[in-house]
Chains A and B, each alone.
Chain A
Amino acid sequence: MDFERIKPHLPWITLLALVVIVGIADANFLRPQNLIAMAADIVPLFIMALGMTFAIYIGGIDLSAQSVANMTTVVATIALPTYGVGTALICILAGFVLGGLSGYVTTKLFVPSFISTLAIGGIAFSTAQWLSGQRALFMDATLRDNTFGWMTGNTAGIPHEIFIGAFLVLATYFLQSRTTFGRALKAVGAGEPAAVASGLNVTRIKIMAFALSGLLAAIAGLLFSVKLSGGSPTLANGFLLPAIVAVLVGGTPLTGGVGGVINTLIGTLIVAVIRSSMLYFEIDATKQQMVFGLVLIAAIALTIDRTKLRVVK
Chain B
Amino acid sequence: MYELRKVDKKFPGVHALKAIDFKIGRGEIVGLVGENGAGKSTLMKVIYGAYQPDGGDITIDGTKVRFQNPRQAMDHGIGMVFQEQSLITNLTVMENIFLGFEQQFVSFGVINWKAMSAAAKAQLAKVKLDIDPATITSSLSFAQRQLVELAKVLTLEERVDGDLVILLDEPTSVLAREEVELLFSLVRDLTSRASFIFVSHRMDEVLELSDRIYVMKDGEVVDVVGHDEADVDSIQHKMVGRDVDKEYYREQKQKPYQADAPPLVSFENVSAGTRYQNISFDLHPGEVLCLVGTEGSGREAILRTIFGLEAPSEGKVSLKGRVMSRFTAQNAVSLGVGYTPRERKVEGIVGGMNVYENMTLSQMRNYANRGGVLRISAEKDLAREWIDRLAIKTPDVYKDCGGLSGGNQQKVVLAKWRSGGSDIILLDHPTRGLDIGAKEDVYDMVREMSDDGVGIVLVADTLEEAIGLSHTIIVLKDGIAQKQFACEPGNKPSLFDLVHHMI
Residues of A within 8 A of B (CB): 174, 178-181, 183-184, 186-187, 190-191, 193-201, 257-258, 308
Contact = CB atoms under 8 A, between A and B. Distances in A.
A197 B329 contact: yes
Given A179-B372, A193-B346, A194-B349, A184 B341 contact: no
B347 A194 contact: yes
B376 A187 contact: no
Given A180-B364, A181-B372, A196 B347 contact: yes
Contacts of A186: 350, 352-353, 357
A1 to B, nearest CB: 15
Nearest to B344: A194
B346 A194 contact: yes
Interface stretch (B332-340, B451-459, B495-503): B332-340
B110 interface: no
A58 B38 CA distance: 36
A187 B353 contact: yes
Nearest to A181: B372
B374 interface: yes
Contacts of B330: 199-201
B350 to A, nearest CB: 4
A183 B357 contact: yes
A184 B330 CA distance: 13
A187 B350 contact: yes
Contacts of B373: 174, 178-179
Contacts of B307: 197
Most chain B beta-carbon contacts within 10 A, residue among A180, A194, A257, A258: A194
Contact of A198 (B309, B334, B361): B361
Given A186-B353, A197-B341, A308-B352, A180 B372 contact: yes
B352 A190 contact: yes
B361 A195 contact: yes
Interface in B369-391: 371-374, 376
Nearest to A189: B352
Contacts of A174: 373
A191 B352 CA distance: 8
Nearest to A186: B353
A194 B374 contact: no
A180 B365 contact: yes
A191 B350 contact: yes
A13 B215 CA distance: 49
B343 interface: yes
Nearest to B428: A197
Nearest to A203: B328
A174 B347 CA distance: 27
A257 B346 CA distance: 14
B334 A193 contact: no
Nearest to B341: A197
B416 interface: yes
Residue among A180, A197, A258 facing the most chain B CB atoms (10 A cut-off): A197
Contacts of B309: 196
B352 A197 contact: no
Contact of B329 (A181, A183, A199): A199
B343 to A, nearest CB: 7
B54 to A, nearest CB: 19
Contacts of B37: none
B333 A191 contact: no
Nearest to A194: B350
B353 A179 contact: no
A258 B352 contact: yes
B349 A178 contact: no
Contacts of A198: 329, 333, 361-362, 416
A257 B352 contact: yes
A194 B348 CA distance: 5
Contacts of A190: 350-353
Contact of B347 (A178, A197, A257): A197
